[in-house]
């Protein structure tokens, strides 16, 4: 098969960033770019909040409108004050969240102990999961232009397609506001770590535009060894570029159409394991993503809405493996050229007083193409997934609500036949007051095998069956002067998929596992005039029941906090702490269970508003602590950065 890589260089994308910035700047210079404030354009504020194309997981503002799962929303004010580089830094302080760093320089998300392979990551409502490995890397989603993060855990809705066993994260980028906005942010840190961000948005009559461009690079990072001395991490440099733009057309206050395009270009080294695993000398010559989607929403009456979207995502990457640490002798150059395309529709229908029906249809096509080395033939695999969901939200008076749902999920495999799964949801809510919400819920969820686990030429098994999990949750929230929310949960899993070492030394994927994760989480948030406090605690009782050992890299106890002080006007001081108790790791080579030490890391951000711009100073891992979330892969040691944010409009 002849094949051509469709990626292009970061040098070319830098020019694209300048062009985007010029277009936005020129667009904002016209006085007509402002919101028309006529009576016929004014709509009810609450209705406007729910009619957002990107927010397919609609979270009501009143307690009785909340889902029967646990939903955490991180708003732009919290995100901005932390000055995150990427999604890994933006999301790590949420309750029930753990971010691990390990093999292939990957920042992996875990929700209540379930890893990225079992979580649906959405970017403005569109799936952002690489199709072959069925996972994602948090560092490939830039923090530029973020507006909010919606994190759904527990018995989540049946409406959002297959493979949501571990939860759903919807990353929502900023929309245009009433006034034109354009800002430039630049930062410089140790080891020649640089970043620049341009983001803005504007409205003009029935049209609106929002966009962001960012560029980041670094020579390396350092980590503390056992003696406390800082050591340079070999092959830890990177270069990243991201460009995203959204164009809106609003023909009426009942309909919105959005077209969204984005590119991500990067090249980076992958530091070799320091222990446990065999050291591999890898480097991504390019790791690129191109995306496009179009859709919107329209009202189907006073209390009914239809959301719809079609999407395409292409992944192109080239991996070089070297025989030596100096990277002088290349062993191979493998290339992936993968594609995802699909469409979905979500209908919210009023079925009478106090009764709402929600329906969904979802289709996704995955195509994976790989070449093991230059000059070799290409392998190609494809599969299709489809899902249909139905939920009924029925009010039992003013205080009680009953929610039931069922999804039908289907996968047509490249080989190994097809699979159909039924996944039910049941929940009840009690809202005795506007500030109090209680819920109990249960669900059954399935996770289809990844393309790698089924079709890998070295370890694939096309006869794998779907993983299955049941979840039970009791939760609630109180929001009257202070926000207190929490949940008690229990997960049971069967048919877990893992790579097994065979007698001849080779590996193969099998359904072997039963496991459980039980636990609790608690969030407390309080705002005073000069002080804001946010604290989260998570407890996990986790066990691989088949092998009678703990699950990998899961701390029993996790605690994080965010304290912000505003001692004087225009000055903001933020302290961010992260603690994880010891965890364990199964070494498949020696069949030993290793211990990963407990850790504590403290970050701080200081920002001062000079009226014409804001300057900030950021320090991470202030105490230069040894932090491992996977054995052999240390996190960055202490790091210092300065920056400025300049509002142009």
* The pLDDT value given to residue 588: 82
Residue 75: strand pairing partners: 148
| pLDDT for 18 | 41
Whether 637 contacts 222, CB under 8 Å: yes
Q: Which residue has the tokens 């560092």?
A: 139
The label of the residue with tokens 């200081």 reads: 606
User: In the numeric block, which tokens belong to residue 352?
Assistant: 């009478």
Query: Which pLDDT belongs to residue 57?
Result: 57
- Residue 354: the pLDDT is 86
Q: What is the pLDDT of residue 9?
A: 52
CA dihedral (621, 629, 118, 59) in degrees, to 10, reads -30
pLDDT digits (tens, 9 = 90+) for 523-578: 999 999 999 999 999 999 999 999 999 999 999 999 999 999 999 999 999 999 99
For the chain, residues with pLDDT lower than 70 are: 1-51, 56-66
pLDDT of residue 559: 97
Q: How far is residue 369's CA from residue 338's CA, in Å, rounded to a whole number?
A: 6
pLDDT for the residue 402: 95
CA 115 to chain centre: 11
pLDDT value at residue 3: 45
In this prediction, residue 65 carries a pLDDT of: 52
Q: Are strands 119-123 and 167-173 parallel, antiparallel or unpaired?
A: parallel
Q: How far apart are CA 161 and CA 156, in angstroms?
A: 11
Cα 133 from chain centre: 16
Instruction: Provide the pLDDT for residue 417.
Output: 84
Cα separation, 268 vs 140, in Å, equals 11
pLDDT at residue 277, rounded to an integer:
85
The full set of domains in the chain, from first to last, is 10-183+200-601 (2.40.170.20)
For 39, phi then psi, to 5°, come to -60, -35
pLDDT of residue 55: 72
Q: Which of 148, 142, 209 is nearest to 181 (CA)?
A: 209
Q: What is the reported pTM? A: 0.90
Per residue in 360-385, pLDDT (tens digit) is 999 999 999 999 999 999 999 999 99
What was the pLDDT predicted at 513?
81
Measured between alpha carbons, how far is 546 from 537 in angstroms, rounded to an integer? 28
CA distance 474 to 490: 9
Please list, residue by residue across 239-253, b when 16 or more beta carbons sit within 10 angstroms of its beta carbon and e when fewer do. Answer: ebbbbbbbbbebeee
Does the CA dihedral 24-29-33-37 come out positive or negative?
positive
């Amino acid at each position: 098969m002849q094949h051509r890589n469709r990626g292009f260089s970061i040098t070319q994308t830098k020019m694209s960033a300048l062009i985007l910035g010029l277009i936005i700047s020129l667009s904002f210079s016209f006085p007509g770019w402002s919101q028309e404030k006529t009576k016929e354009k004014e709509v009810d504020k609450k209705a406007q909040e729910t009619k957002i194309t990107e927010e397919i997981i609609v979270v009501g503002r009143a307690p009785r409108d909340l889902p029967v799962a646990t939903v955490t929303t991180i708003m732009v004010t919290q995100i901005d004050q932390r000055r995150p580089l990427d999604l890994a830094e933006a999301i790590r302080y949420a309750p029930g969240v753990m971010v691990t760093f390990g093999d292939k320089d990957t920042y992996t998300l875990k929700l209540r102990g379930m890893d990225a392979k079992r979580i649906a990551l959405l970017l403005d409502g569109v799936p952002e999961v690489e199709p072959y490995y069925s996972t994602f890397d948090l560092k490939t989603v830039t923090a530029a232009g973020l507006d909010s993060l919606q994190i759904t855990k527990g018995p989540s809705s049946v409406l959002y397609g297959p493979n949501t066993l571990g939860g759903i994260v919807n990353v929502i980028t900023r929309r245009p506001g009433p006034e034109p906005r354009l800002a430039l942010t630049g930062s410089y840190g140790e080891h020649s770590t640089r970043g620049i961000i341009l983001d803005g948005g504007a409205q003009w009559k029935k049209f609106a535009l929002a966009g962001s461009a960012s560029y980041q690079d670094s020579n390396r990072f350092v980590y503390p060894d056992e003696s406390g001395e800082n050591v340079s991490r070999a092959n830890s440099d990177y270069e990243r570029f991201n460009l995203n733009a959204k164009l809106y057309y609003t023909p009426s206050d009942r309909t919105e159409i959005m077209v969204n395009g984005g590119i991500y270009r990067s090249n980076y080294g992958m530091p070799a394991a320091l222990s446990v695993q065999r050291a591999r000398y890898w480097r991504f010559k390019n790791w690129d993503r191109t995306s496009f989607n179009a859709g919107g929403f329209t009202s189907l009456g006073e209390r009914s809405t239809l959301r719809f979207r079609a999407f395409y995502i292409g992944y192109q990457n080239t991996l070089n493996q070297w025989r030596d640490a100096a990277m002088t002798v290349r062993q191979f150059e493998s290339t992936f050229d993968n594609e995802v395309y699909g469409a979905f529709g979500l209908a919210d229908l009023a079925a009478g007083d106090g009764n709402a029906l929600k329906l969904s249809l979802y289709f996704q096509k995955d195509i994976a193409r790989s070449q093991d080395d230059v000059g070799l033939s290409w392998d190609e695999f494809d599969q299709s997934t489809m899902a249909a969901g139905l939920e009924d939200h029925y009010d039992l008076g003013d205080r009680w609500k009953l929610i039931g749902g069922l999804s039908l999920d289907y996968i047509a495999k490249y080989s190994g036949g097809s699979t159909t799964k039924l996944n039910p949801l049941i929940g009840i809510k009690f809202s005795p007051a506007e500030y109090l919400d209680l819920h109990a819920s249960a669900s059954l969820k399935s996770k289809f095998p990844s393309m790698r686990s089924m079709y890998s030429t070295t370890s694939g098994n096309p006869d794998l069956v779907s993983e299955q999990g049941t979840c039970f949750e009791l939760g609630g929230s109180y929001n009257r002067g202070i926000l207190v929310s929490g949940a008690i949960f229990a997960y049971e899993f069967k048919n877990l998929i893992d790579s097994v070492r065979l007698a001849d030394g080779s590996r193969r994927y099998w359904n072997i596992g039963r496991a459980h994760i039980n636990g609790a989480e608690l969030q407390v948030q309080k705002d005073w005039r000069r002080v804001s406090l946010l604290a989260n605690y998570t407890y996990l009782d986790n066990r691989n029941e088949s092998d009678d050992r703990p699950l990998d890299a899961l701390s029993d106890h996790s605690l994080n906090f965010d304290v912000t002080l505003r001692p004087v006007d225009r000055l903001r001081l933020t302290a961010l702490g992260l603690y994880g108790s010891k965890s364990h790791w199964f070494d498949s080579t020696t069949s030993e269970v290793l211990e990963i030490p407990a850790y504590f890391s403290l970050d701080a951000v200081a920002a001062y508003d000079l009226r014409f711009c804001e300057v900030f100073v950021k320090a991470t891992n202030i105490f230069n602590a040894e932090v491992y979330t996977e054995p052999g892969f240390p996190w960055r040691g202490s790091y210092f950065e300065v920056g400025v944010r300049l509002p142009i409009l």
